[in-house]
Amino acid sequence: MGEWFGKDWSGAPFVLFSRAHWIALGLVALGGLALLRLRRADTVWRDRVRYGLAIVLLVNETLWHLWNWTTGQWSLQTTLPLHLCSVLVFISAWMLITKNYTIYEFAYLLGIPGAMQALLTPDAGIYGFPHFRFFQVFISHGAIVISALYMTLVAGYRPRPASLWRVGLIAHLYMIAVGVINALIGSNYLYIARKPATASILDALPPWPWYILWIEGIGIVSILLMYAPFALRDWQKRTNKSIANV
């Protein structure tokens, strides 16, 4: 039992798109699909799931920090909650508790594509199934995705055209602030100081600093793709209304 939580891991290492990886991705997908059924549930069950997701996010992140602390890995340079998904854990929990719409805009437009990328190329290091780190990675990012989907599919939230500008502006301001912090303490939050050591989509991009421009482009495309279903629905409504008025 102890080795499942220790820093040293003698079990099977994490392997990208291994059976364990695919099972974890499948469970996240099933969690998202379960929300379609939850739409027909009563308010009591909806609230239980909403608060339950918030608790899962906060407890899982707390355990992550405790694990780093007890194994001597916690540091200002690596463990502050400044990465995109680390921030999204806390604000997604607050979104679920308060039903805050502004946070929803970020959770949906940035949280889902960001967490999906982390699910497909997780930063699990050497820790494969059944180490704590393996579960922590997939629970954290999976819960971010499911939380944003909950607010969309169950609570009925949706992004608006103005959401694109707000999310884009604040995301850039945040990236600048994190860049200053990286320069001050020698960290690599948001991976804008250098590429991560583990496999990621950044491996296919040019070297620093040019890959940051690619991150910008990928981020813009991701936001537009996340908004596309709503834009299409709005266009269809306008078209149908115009036809009806003819």
| pLDDT at residue 27 in the model | 97
Domain containing 89 equals 11-232
**Could you give the number of structural domains in the chain?**
1
| pLDDT at residue 84 in the model | 93
The dihedrals phi and psi of 188, each to the nearest 5 degrees, come to: -140, 40
Residue 103 token pair: 């946070």
Please give the model's pTM, rounded to 2 decimal places: 0.93
Give the type of residue at 147. Answer: S
| pLDDT at residue 196 in the model | 81
Contact by Cβ (8 Å): 210, 192: no
User: What tens-digit pLDDT sequence spans the chain (246 residues)?
Assistant: 567 888 988 888 899 999 999 999 999 999 999 999 998 899 999 999 999 999 999 999 999 999 999 999 999 999 999 999 999 999 999 999 999 999 999 999 999 999 999 999 888 888 999 999 999 999 999 999 999 999 999 999 999 999 999 999 999 999 999 999 999 999 999 999 998 876 667 788 888 889 999 988 989 999 999 999 999 998 988 887 777 665
| pLDDT at residue 50 in the model | 97
Q: Could you identify the residue written with the tokens 């949706």?
A: 158
What's the rounded Cα separation, in Å, for the pair 63 and 120?
A: 22
What's the rounded Cα separation, in Å, for the pair 198 and 73?
A: 17
| pLDDT at residue 85 in the model | 93
Contact by Cβ (8 Å): 95, 104: yes
In a domain, 238, yes or no: no
| pLDDT at residue 33 in the model | 94
In a domain, 69, yes or no: yes
In a domain, 147, yes or no: yes
In a domain, 21, yes or no: yes
In a domain, 107, yes or no: yes
